[in-house]
Amino acid sequence: MSRTILHVDMDAFFAAVELRRQPELKGQPVVVGGRGDPTQRGVVSTATYEARVHGIHSGMALRTAHRLCPNAVFLPVDFAAYRAASTQVFTVLDQVSPVRQAVGLDEAYLDISHRPEDPLQIGAQLKADILSATGLVASVGIGPNRLLAKIASDLEKPDGLTLLTIADVPEKIWPLPVRTLHGVGPRTAERLAALGITHIGQLAAADPLELSREFSPSHTISLQQAARGEDDRPVQTERVRKSIGRERTFQQDCRSSGRLAHEAEQMLKEVHGRLCHSGLRARTVTVKLRYRDFTTHTRSQTLGQASAEFTALASSVHHCLFAHTLHRAVRLLGVQLSGLEHAPAEGV
């Protein structure tokens, strides 16, 4: 059965929420990240398009962003405000289709195959409804599958509305860089470039035997299917998250095991709250440390059965933390819960 998938991606979401409450900043390069102080450690969470023209992007060090654009306005991350805005957006999305898959706070797939209206009309009305309800701008992509819908939403950002079909692939998709494809990260792109493949059309036309010398047979098949615009992944309305975690980069390297233990417990309290709010239990606890020299080590412990019991999880966090070498200067601490599953209903 043919599908019609709609991909909604909020434009520069964190920055847009900040501009909504500080409209005087509109038109200026605004960078959101860390504590909003570019002289301290931290990374860019998002930036306005005025900042992006200077080369600033998500994941970049705040200090680097400041060097690229000294006149930018730097703001601290406010997750409470972004979660509240996300709830507003998803309330609108839920009126469009019951088959909806969230991807973070600012992105979602909707299966609108059951609706008889013109998909472009549905997308245009959705954009208008989001703007009316939240004051925020979304880009919407429409396609016969998730892959093409996702690419479509990126093609005309910001404030885009784009429909792609399989027939559009040769003209509109093949000229794009291979990094555009879902599942093609920096390392895969490097390996493809070594074969002389930098654009999607080259990947689609490549000899499978040549590709299989660099990639496994299954990876070769999936890469070329994606290059042809093929994707059979459904929109998943019920999906257990793979993990829930929290990380903190210290402004000054930490050498105190007592402070690390205290910070780890505080992180667990936050992560545990999200675990319980989602009705989940965790089987594996992981504590990550990044040292001054940027080497990163993790220690994990798997419980006998998945649990949402704070005491049991805290005991595992303590065990994993002290399995590390703690006399070295620690730059970053992280606590993660994984092996998640839904908690049983009451009385079951």
Q: Is 213 helix (H, G, I), strand (E, B) or coil?
A: coil
Beta-carbon count within 10 A of 342 CB: 12
**Per-position DSSP letters for 321-342, written without gaps between them:** HHTS--SSPEEEEEEEEES-EE
Do you know the residue count of the chain?
Answer: 348
Look at residue 39 and give its three-state secondary structure: coil
Catalytic, out of 18, 50, 107, 263: 107
**Rounded distance, CA 345 to CA 59, Å?**
39
| Per-residue CA distances from 310 to 39, 152, 252, 269, 287 (Å) | 36, 43, 29, 8, 16
First to last CA, the chain: 37
List for the chain the helix, strand, coil content (%; round to 5). 40, 25, 35
Q: In what order do the strands lie in the sheet with 138-143?
A: 100-102, 107-111, 5-10, 138-143, 161-163
* Residues in CB range of 162: below 8 A, 6 or more apart: 140, 141, 142, 152, 153, 155, 156
Consult the annotation and say whether 111 binds a ligand. Answer: no
230 is catalytic: no
- Rounded distance between C-alpha atoms, residue 56 and residue 36, angstroms: 15
19: left (phi over 0), alpha (psi -120 to 50) or beta: alpha
What distance in Å separates the CA atoms of residue 149 and residue 97, rounded to the nearest whole number?
A: 16
The answer to whether the peptide bond before residue 144 is cis (omega within 30 degrees of 0) is no
Query: What is the spatial distance between Cα 291 and Cα 278, in angstroms, rounded to a whole number?
Result: 32
Q: For residue 154, say whether it is annotated as part of any ligand binding site.
A: no
* Catalytically annotated residues: 107
State the binding site for Mg(2+): 9, 106
